[in-house]
Structure 1
């Protein structure tokens, strides 16, 4: 489908809102095209992102669809949109609002200690006429359960509030405009003169509480601005040209965090395609255990120890498999069953089908999971100078499971749906598991376990160096191929080999020269990999950011800085990243915004900043 004729906005043109319980995507025309209530992984109530009839909610100038300017309120996840119409100027604010906690959260109950601020369970939108006179419209057309069930509307009390019901859900629309109901749609129109303001809000809060008036609505947005700025002020972000993308990435990672449990979703969305019109469409609204170590690295680098602690406690709460190991992913509430289904009634983003709910990879064997958990535990222990007693059994169970599994083939870090293989990245993470377990045992003064786990780590290391390196001295994708795989960059990132090692330098340079499109990194070449799927995919942004870090670690600072500059230039207009970048059409693909991409950005930027700082010290 031609991008100029597609009814779907470009993925990168969406704005991301969050209250750390759920998130929304707002299109340039002011339509909320994605919102799941009351949590990230709930069925969508507004799903136009995946089908143009699956629900939307627009609030903006009547008859004008292209805004003049869109931006985040600095230091926040609150959006502003400026509109220039033939008759005037309009300013819109959009926020999933946060406020002072007033008691237990009955909508999304917490398992972590409550914070001072929490979600209001409100989407609040305000408009102000800056100049002239213009007409504002509200069009709220929800479609519950991923578009399956249109709303049934009921006016409540007067013509300023109405309840939408469907598929067992109810939310309230409130506004100071007069609401009219047309089938499954609530509408309102109102003329504003210079200085006039109006608001609307959706509420799924207890008692369906809503703002009383436009002043109350504005106060809630102001409180949300204060929340985000106060939170960001806790982060340690150096005074450096890379500060702005670091701040936006920090806000995005926090926005993808589920406050009730401390979990982090991989992305806000499901089924945004990795290949236009293809079948590589997955549900990413869950927590991947492999992300734990990258999440902890980023949070600790930014000095966000509270979030890091909550996340580790979430991991500590998870129910393991029968072998003591953890699944590769869990629900944000810790649930294990993420059975995958398809919604064949949805057309998909630009025709990319199927649309998936759930993720069938949840019960795959991926031997990298043990290393991710144990590296996270070591990072957290080194930072806090304390390993909580309740987490030591997790160390033992993960080390035991890694010891038993490292010789076995698996599906690899990319969750290939083909034949299991001896993936080098999985072996690398097996080494990470036992290396970190040995160090944690030393911290616990358990010399016997430390020695036992160190011996196994050395055995894994020897096996990788014997079987995982090709004749030209480059790390393979798996033991039965000489194909390249970007996941072998983990050998540099996790310290398997020093940057001065010739095998590491050759691997990094081979990936940079041979596994790229226009300089951006592919996960692997699909014609060389049995991943069980058809079609091609775009370059992976996390792999490109990994390459920045790896280049820096092997001393290629000019190439590292140059690649990071290119990656920063392709950020979305609001500084966000999806999962992939399609080089041919210069657009983002895959689920959005993608936590992994932003985590890798933070890691890559930190390498560049450290190098710059060390260079200044040497002058």
Structure 2
């Protein structure tokens, strides 16, 4: 389906809103096309993203669908949209609002210490007529349980509020406009003249508490602006030309964080396709343990130590498998069962089916998980200057699991659904696990254990260099192939090989030359890899950012800067990244916004900034 004829907006054209409990995607025409309440992984109430009949909520000018401008309020996840109509100009603000804590959160209870500010459990939208006169339209059409259950509406009070319910969910629509109920829709229309304002809000808060008037609605949006700016003010972001993309990435990572537990979802969405019209559609509304080390690196680099500690406490609370190993992913509440099902009644985004709920990879064997956990603990220990007592049993168990598993094949970092292989990236993370465990043991003054783990790390290292390097001196995807894999770019980033090592330089050059499309990096060639799926996929943005970091590590700074600039130019109009970039049609693919892409951006930017500052000092 061509972009010109598709009823679905391009993925990159969506705006991302968050209250750190759930998130929304707002299309350019002002329609909320994705919202799950009360949490990221709850069933959607607005799911037009995956089926044009699965629920939407529009608030904007009647009869006009193309806005003049859309921008975030600087330093926030609050959206402003400016509209030019034949009769005038309109300004819309959209926010999932945050405010001072009013007591225990009974909607999404916390396991972490509550912060001073928390989610209101409200989606608030305000409009102001800037000039002339504009007819404003409100159309709220929920479809609960991923589009299966149309809303059952009931009027509340004097006609300015109505409750929608279905599939065990309920929320209240409130507005200063008069609401009419038409089947499964709640509608309102009103003409605003210069200086006039109006609001609407959806509430799933305790007691369905809602703004009482437009001034209250504006105050809640103002408090949300203040929340995000105050949070960002705590981050350490250097004064550099890369400051803005780092700040937007930081706001996105924070927006993908589930405040009640400290978990971070991999992306806001499920089943946005990696292959247009294909079957590579996954549910990413969960926490991948593999991502821990990248999350900790980014948070500590930005000086966001509170968030880093919250995330580590979430990891420490996770229930392991019977053998002591952590699963590769968990629910944002720590649950282990993420059984996958399909919603065959949904069309999928641009016909990409199936639509998946849950993720069948949750019980796969992935031997890289141990290294991710132990690298995270070492990062956190080094930064906080202490090794929390409750984390030491996790160090011991993950080191023991790594020792037991490193010789075994697995599904690899990309969760291939083909036959298990001896993936080099998994062996690499086994080395990371024992190397970091050894250093943590030294911090505890247990030199006997440190030496034992150090010896195993060296054994793994020798095995990789003996079996994981091709005849031309390049790191392989796995031991039984000479195919390339972008995950081997992690070798210098984790310190397995120095940037001066010829094998590392050859690997970076080979990936840059042979595993790219128009300069953007693929995970691997799908025709060379048994991943259990059909179809081609786009270039992976995280892999391209990894190549920036790897080029910097091997001393190719000019090429690193050039690739970084190309990546910044393909950001969405609002500075966001999905998982993939389809080079042929210059569009984003996969779930959106993608935490992994933004985490890798922060690391790549940090390496360029460090090199730039070093060059300044050397002048």
> 5 Å matches for 1:39-50?
39-50=39-50
Task: Report whether the alignment pairs 1:573 with 2:573.
Answer: yes
Query: Match for residue 563 of structure 1?
Result: 563
Offset at residue 448 of structure 1 (A): 1.2
Distance 2:377 2:209 in 1: 41
> 5 Å matches for 1:505-516?
505-516=505-516
Query: Match for residue 608 of structure 1?
Result: 608
> 5 Å matches for 1:533-544?
533-544=533-544
Distance 2:498 2:63 in 1: 60
Query: Match for residue 54 of structure 2?
Result: 54
Offset at residue 489 of structure 1 (A): 0.5
Distance 1:572 1:12 in 2: 5
> 5 Å matches for 1:99-248?
99-248=99-248
Query: Match for residue 23 of structure 1?
Result: 23
TM-score, normalisation: structure 2: 1.00
Distance 2:509 2:577 in 1: 25
Secondary structure of 2:527's match? helix
Cα deviation 1:122-151 (Å, max 9, x = unaligned): 000000000001100000000000000000
Secondary structure of 1:393's match? helix
* Runs of 5+ consecutive residues of structure 1 not aligned to the other structure: none
Distance 1:551 1:309 in 2: 31
> 5 Å matches for 1:305-320?
305-320=305-320
Task: Report whether the alignment pairs 1:321 with 2:296.
Answer: no
Offset at residue 9 of structure 1 (A): 0.2
Distance 1:182 1:401 in 2: 59
Query: Match for residue 362 of structure 1?
Result: 362
Distance 2:490 2:74 in 1: 34
Distance 1:502 1:395 in 2: 33
> 5 Å matches for 1:307-386?
307-386=307-386
Secondary structure of 1:83's match? strand
Distance 1:21 1:288 in 2: 17
Distance 2:113 2:513 in 1: 48
Offset at residue 506 of structure 1 (A): 0.1
Task: Report whether the alignment pairs 1:421 with 2:414.
Answer: no
Secondary structure of 1:591's match? coil
Offset at residue 157 of structure 1 (A): 1.1
> 5 Å matches for 1:518-537?
518-537=518-537
Offset at residue 63 of structure 1 (A): 0.2
Cα deviation 1:109-130 (Å, max 9, x = unaligned): 0000000000000000000000
Distance 2:553 2:223 in 1: 42
Query: Match for residue 468 of structure 1?
Result: 468
Query: Match for residue 490 of structure 2?
Result: 490
Offset at residue 566 of structure 1 (A): 0.1
Offset at residue 323 of structure 1 (A): 1.1
Distance 2:502 2:47 in 1: 50
Distance 1:383 1:615 in 2: 26
Offset at residue 438 of structure 1 (A): 0.2
Distance 1:115 1:405 in 2: 40
Secondary structure of 2:219's match? helix
Cα deviation 1:202-233 (Å, max 9, x = unaligned): 00000000000000000000000000000000
Secondary structure of 1:162's match? strand
Query: Match for residue 406 of structure 1?
Result: 406
RMSD between superposed Cα atoms in Å: 0.3
Cα deviation 1:61-84 (Å, max 9, x = unaligned): 000000000000000000000000
Secondary structure of 1:528's match? coil
Secondary structure of 2:413's match? coil
Offset at residue 532 of structure 1 (A): 0.2
Distance 2:229 2:407 in 1: 48
Cα deviation 1:421-467 (Å, max 9, x = unaligned): 00000000000000000000000111111011001000000000000
Query: Match for residue 253 of structure 2?
Result: 253
Query: Match for residue 271 of structure 1?
Result: 271
Query: Match for residue 64 of structure 1?
Result: 64
Distance 1:445 1:361 in 2: 38
Distance 1:240 1:367 in 2: 38
Distance 1:386 1:188 in 2: 57
Secondary structure of 2:373's match? helix
Query: Match for residue 457 of structure 2?
Result: 457
Distance 1:173 1:322 in 2: 46
Offset at residue 387 of structure 1 (A): 0.9
Distance 1:452 1:349 in 2: 51
Secondary structure of 1:525's match? coil
Distance 2:283 2:172 in 1: 28
Query: Match for residue 597 of structure 2?
Result: 597
Offset at residue 158 of structure 1 (A): 1.4
Secondary structure of 1:568's match? helix
Offset at residue 470 of structure 1 (A): 0.2
Offset at residue 178 of structure 1 (A): 0.2
Secondary structure of 1:397's match? helix
Offset at residue 193 of structure 1 (A): 0.4
Distance 1:529 1:492 in 2: 24
TM-score, normalisation: structure 1: 1.00
